[in-house]
Amino acid sequence: MQPKTNDSLSVGSINLILFAARQQGADADALARAVGIDAAQLKNPDGRVLIQQVQALWHEAIIATNDPALPLKLGEMVNPLALGVLAYVMMHCPTLGHVFDKLCHYQDIVCEGVQTTGQLIPADDKSGAKYVLSLRITSPDIIYPEHTFNSELSIYMSVIRALTGQRLTALETHFAYPRPSDTREHERVFDPTLLLFDASETTLVFDAALLDTPVLNANPSLFPLFEKHANDILNQLHTPSLKSRVKAEIVSLMKGEEPTLVSVADRLAMGVRTLQLHLKESGTSYQQLLDETRKELAIGHLREPNVSTTDIAYLLGFAEPSVFFRSFKKWTGQTPGAYRLAYA
């Protein structure tokens, strides 16, 4: 199974998941390897990981910890202010209302597959004014929406409490997935709140008066520095890098034969030497990007039990299955068959 998109998630978010899994006794390094994430990737605070890999990581982490509620516990198991630049932006907002505005604006920095929006609902004859924070899945690569919603909401609540120094709660919490057989962790994590499942949208509904709650230790002089960094990252995400464009063309051209540098350069309307030079300036090469793409696709395909390793070799454009086997072992330290037995 190859990724449907290039949607990605921040390395900071991945490290939170791995940390939580480690706290529950799992081998975090093995979990990262199982979904094709290299240790070097996890050291870059502004790095990105494909959402498809993150979804696979949630699946593996829940199996390894034997804890289906792990995503719900994420916010309280980790330091939610370790999310990276977005956390620093929110830390120096004057009020909770400003925090919500920045969370919605910079959501893609944390995860491109979820859209977070906020709406102020005026008071009526029945109730006071409310503020509704809504989450909507936007990436087709998110195949476990309940893990995504649970982890995001638990982190949001932890961030709100850490920034204000108060155990603030939502009036209502709505989940856009069916009611699970066991809701005790939902009740514990979001207590006290009205829990609603099978909702049309996943939301946190707050009393609008909370928007004026001050953020503790906010430093207005630091805010512009962190917001500039956040804007730079957001602009990079919304302007595909040359590396991501090359990998997208490799995927598009990989139909039973190896995509060549010449064919990719032609698709990008570039000369071969120009493309090679730009990739070198970016710290990579065409061969490295071809190997990365093949590795990511191979791991996805190996999770599909009905696709043989010989078929995978063909799909990835290898001339012979033996060449694919040798390459995969070089990438992961395991043969495709051994990897499938361990992780599929």
Per-residue pLDDT of the chain (344 residues; tens, 9 = 90+): 455 677 889 998 999 999 999 999 999 999 999 998 988 889 887 788 989 999 999 999 999 999 999 999 999 998 877 778 999 999 999 999 999 999 999 999 999 999 999 999 999 888 899 999 999 999 999 999 999 999 999 999 999 999 999 999 999 999 999 999 999 999 999 988 899 999 999 999 999 999 999 999 999 999 999 999 999 989 888 877 888 889 889 988 887 789 999 999 999 989 999 999 999 988 899 999 999 999 988 988 888 888 899 999 999 999 899 999 999 999 988 899 888 887 65
| End-of-domain residue from the set 237, 254, 280 | 237
* CA angle, residues 172, 174, 179, in degrees to nearest 5: 125
What is residue 1's predicted lDDT score, i.e. its pLDDT? Answer: 46
Query: Six-digit token pair at 166?
Result: 């108060």
Q: 245 and 217, same structural domain? A: no
The structural domain count of the chain equals 2
Q: Are 142 and 173 in contact (CB under 8 A)?
A: no
Q: 157 and 298, same structural domain? A: no
Q: 244 and 149, same structural domain? A: no
Q: What is the spatial distance between Cα 284 and Cα 276, in angstroms, rounded to a whole number?
A: 9
Q: 249 and 222, same structural domain? A: no
Q: 245 and 221, same structural domain? A: no
Q: Which of 316, 295, 330 is CA-nearest to residue 37? A: 295
CATH number, domain of 288, equals 1.10.10.60
Q: 158 and 34, same structural domain? A: yes
| End-of-domain residue from the set 207, 237, 267 | 237
Q: Which of 94, 107, 105 is CA-nearest to residue 155? A: 107
Q: What is the spatial distance between Cα 38 and Cα 11, in angstroms, rounded to a whole number?
A: 11
Q: Where are the alpha helices (DSSP H) in 282-344?
A: 286-302, 309-315, 321-332, 336-343
- pTM comes to 0.77
- 2 in any annotated domain: no
- 108 in any annotated domain: yes
What is residue 282's predicted lDDT score, i.e. its pLDDT? Answer: 84
Q: Are 169 and 192 in contact (CB under 8 A)?
A: yes
Q: 221 and 168, same structural domain? A: yes
Domain that holds residue 324: 240-343
* Residue 329 buriedness (CB in 10 A; 0-12 / 13-18 / 19+): middle
Q: Which of 303, 301, 295, 298 is CA-nearest to residue 331? A: 295
CA-based torsion, 56, 58, 64, 66: positive or negative: negative
Long-range Cβ contacts of 216-222 (<8 Å, 24+ apart): 216/163, 216/164, 216/165, 217/91, 218/91, 218/92, 218/93, 218/94, 219/92, 220/92, 220/94, 222/88, 222/92
Q: What is the spatial distance between Cα 220 and Cα 135, in angstroms, rounded to a whole number?
A: 28
Q: In what order do the strands lie in the sheet with 194-196?
A: 114-121, 130-137, 202-207, 172-174, 194-196
| End-of-domain residue from the set 237, 272, 307 | 237
CATH number, domain of 217, equals 3.90.1520
Give helix 286-302 / helix 51-65 axis angle, nearest 10°.
40
Q: Are 282 and 246 in contact (CB under 8 A)?
A: no
What is residue 135's predicted lDDT score, i.e. its pLDDT? Answer: 98
Q: Which of 344, 251, 333 is CA-nearest to residue 296? A: 251
CA-based torsion, 335, 40, 300, 75: positive or negative: positive
DSSP 8-state assignment for residue 112? T
